Amino acid sequence: MSAARGASGAASPSEPLWARDFVVLLASNLLYFMGVYLVLPTLPIFAVSLGGGETAAGLILGLFTFTAMLVRPLTGWALDAYGRYAILLIGMALSLGTILAHEWVAGVGLLLVLRLAHGVGFGFATTAGGTLASDLVPQRRLGEGMGYFTLAIGLPMAVAPALGLGLISGGDFTWLFIAAAGLTGVSLLLAVALRAPRREKPVVGFSVRGLFERSALLPASLMFLLTMTYAPVLAFIALYGQERGIGNVGPFFAVFAVVLAVLRPISGRLADQRGYLQTALIGFVFIVAGLVALALARGLATVLLSGALYGVGFGTSQPSLQALTVHGVGDQRRGRRRPHSSSPTTWG
pLDDT tens digit sequence for 208-242:
555 556 666 777 778 778 777 776 676 567 667 77
Mean pLDDT of the chain: 78
Q: At what angle do helices 84-101 and 20-39 cross, to 10 degrees?
A: 30
- Of the two residues 59 and 39, the one the predictor is more confident about is 39
**Residue 12 near residue 140, CB atoms below 8 Å:** yes
- Of the two residues 240 and 4, the one the predictor is more confident about is 240
Q: Does domain 17-213 have CATH number 1.20.1250.20?
A: yes
pLDDT tens for 238-261 read: 667 777 888 767 678 778 878 877
81-85, 145-149, 278-282, 306-310: range with highest mean pLDDT: 306-310
Domain parsing of the chain, residue ranges:
17-213, 214-328
- The phi-psi region of residue 257 (left if phi > 0; otherwise alpha if psi is between -120 and 50; otherwise beta) is alpha
Residue 345 has pLDDT above 60, yes or no: no
Q: What's the CA gap between 151 and 25, in Å, rounded?
A: 12
- Residue 223, exposed/middle/buried by CB under 10 A (0-12, 13-18, 19+)? buried
Q: What's the CA gap between 303 and 174, in Å, rounded?
A: 36
Q: If DSSP codes are grouped into helix, strand and coil, which group holds residue 290?
A: helix
Q: Where is 9: in which H helix or E strand?
A: none
Q: At what angle do helices 108-136 and 84-101 cross, to 10 degrees?
A: 150
Residue by residue, DSSP assigns 149-213 as: HHHHHHTHHHHHHHHHHHHTTTS--HHHHHHHHHHHHHHHHHHHT----S--S------SGGG--
User: What DSSP designation does 14 have?
Assistant: T
pLDDT tens for 97-156 read: 999 999 898 888 899 999 999 999 999 998 898 888 888 888 777 777 777 887 787 788
Residue 346 has pLDDT above 50, yes or no: no
Angle of CA points 193, 319, 208, to nearest 5°? 75
pLDDT tens for 172-216 read: 899 999 999 999 999 999 999 987 654 445 555 555 555 556 666
Q: What's the CA gap between 149 and 133, in Å, rounded?
A: 7
pLDDT tens for 73-98 read: 788 777 777 778 889 999 999 999 99
